[in-house]
């Protein structure tokens, strides 16, 4: 329990991204000057992600409340933002801390059994021969980068469907790592997973996404 | 020598740089010889990059208006 109450550290981890830092500083200046369009920009950019992150820890209605509440805290604490991490990472940490505190209060604090909903986390065994070599190897996809894949509307639908179908743990890890770009240490800390569990969950989640995309291209090829 | 199936199981450990030195060499040796597994690795990298590249879902206008109203009320 003690562990669960431990908050994600709020001290700012230096961000490697200098260019982003300049953009953040400009945004913060506008926010402190009560510029509504700056606030609107920020909410449009990050609100959905906050709901998703909180939703990994609490029920959907509470997640929406936490996300909204996060904005109040962001505005209140903004004068103390020092820009040592990206603004986005800072906002996510506030949201995570809040979600964790509420999850503890709701006593639903460990939705993260690491190995639930296993299926889909590995390539089907039938695609390999007795020596483990490909019989049914991955086909080449028409698109060669994530940007190109995402130009297809069905790819977004496919990704959304897959996110909804996976376990809360997989969704949380995938969201924090691949969408928010947090490092594994931060994700382990936020979700109370061990490093190796976190990696297993991430592996399964990405394997599922790859397989869903493969299926999309397969359908298209017919 | 790693099998293709083992490569698909180790791919995230490889990308996350969590393989031992020896396993990393074995992994890369396999990749050097196996186009199918290179293809698989490429697709896993795309799968990992998808999330970060997806455009944010739009915020419902009612939520936005409510947050804006509160923003006007807050004292920074």
pLDDT tens, residue by residue, A65-81: 999 999 999 999 999 99
Rounded average pLDDT over B19-47: 97
A210 with B47: CB under 8 angstroms? yes
- For the question of whether the overall pTM of this predicted structure is more than 0.80, the answer is no
Smallest Cβ–Cβ distance between B48 and the set A138, A144, A206 belongs to: A206
d(CA A154, CA A213): 10
Least confident of A27-36, A78-87, A129-138, B3-12: A78-87
pLDDT tens, residue by residue, A160-219: 888 878 887 888 888 888 877 788 888 888 777 899 999 999 999 999 999 999 999 999
Provide the pLDDT for residue A89.
83
Q: Does A36 touch chain B (CB under 8 A)?
A: yes
Considering only residues A152 and A118, tell me which one the structure prediction assigns the higher pLDDT: A152
**What is the predicted ipTM?**
0.83
Opening angle at CA A74, ends A70 and A78, nearest 5: 170
Confidence of residue A9 (pLDDT cuts 50, 70, 90): very low
Query: Residue A17: pLDDT above 70?
Result: no
Instruction: Give all strands (DSSP E) within B21-76, no chain letters.
Output: none
Name which of B1, B50, B52, B64 to mutate to probe chain A: the one with the most chain A Cβ atoms within 10 A of its Cβ.
B50
Confidence of residue A115 (pLDDT cuts 50, 70, 90): very low
Least Cα distance to A81 among A201, B52, A73 occurs for A73
Residue-wise burial string across A30-51, b where 16 or more C-beta atoms lie within 10 A, e elsewhere: bbeeeeeebbeebbeebbbbbb
d(CA B11, CA A125): 16
Taking an 8 Å cut-off on Cβ atoms, the answer to whether A43 and B56 are in contact is no
A contacts of B3 (beta carbons < 8 Å) = 128, 131-133
Provide the pLDDT for residue A183.
85
d(CA A192, CA A141): 36
CB atoms within 10 A of CB A64: 18
Rounded average pLDDT over B26-55: 93
Taking an 8 Å cut-off on Cβ atoms, the answer to whether A150 and B53 are in contact is yes
Smallest Cβ–Cβ distance between B64 and the set A40, A49, A209 belongs to: A40
d(CA A90, CA A14): 11
Q: Does A48 touch chain B (CB under 8 A)?
A: yes
Residues of chain A with pLDDT > 70, as a percent, come to: 84
């Amino acid at each position: 329990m003690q562990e669960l109450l431990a908050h994600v550290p709020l001290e700012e981890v230096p961000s490697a991204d200098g260019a982003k830092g300049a953009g953040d500083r400009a945004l913060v200046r506008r926010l402190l000057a009560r510029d509504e369009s700056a606030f609107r920009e920020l909410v449009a950019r990050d609100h959905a992600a906050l709901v998703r992150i909180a939703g990994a820890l609490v029920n959907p209605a509470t997640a929406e409340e936490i996300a909204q509440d996060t904005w109040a805290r962001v505005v209140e604490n903004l004068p103390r933002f020092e820009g040592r991490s990206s603004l986005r990472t800072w906002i996510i940490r506030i949201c995570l801390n809040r979600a964790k505190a509420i999850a503890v209060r709701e006593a639903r604090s460990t939705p993260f059994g690491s190995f639930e909903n296993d299926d889909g986390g590995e390539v089907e065994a039938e695609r390999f021969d007795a020596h483990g070599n490909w019989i049914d190897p991955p086909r080449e996809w028409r698109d060669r980068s994530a940007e190109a894949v995402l130009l297809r509307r069905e790819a977004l639908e496919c990704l959304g469907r897959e996110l909804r179908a996976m376990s809360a743990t997989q969704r949380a890890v995938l969201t924090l790592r691949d969408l928010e770009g947090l490092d594994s240490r931060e994700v382990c800390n936020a979700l109370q997973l061990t490093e190796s569990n976190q990696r297993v969950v991430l592996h399964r989640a990405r394997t599922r996404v790859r397989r869903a995309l493969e299926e999309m291209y397969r359908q298209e090829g017919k | 020598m790693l099998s293709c199936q083992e490569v698909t199981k180790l791919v995230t450990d490889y990308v996350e740089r969590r393989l031992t030195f020896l396993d990393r060499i074995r992994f890369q040796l396999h990749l050097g010889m196996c186009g199918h597994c290179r293809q698989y690795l490429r697709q896993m990298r795309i799968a990992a990059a998808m999330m970060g590249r997806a455009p944010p879902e739009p915020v419902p206008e009612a939520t936005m208006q409510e947050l804006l109203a509160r923003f006007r009320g807050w004292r920074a």
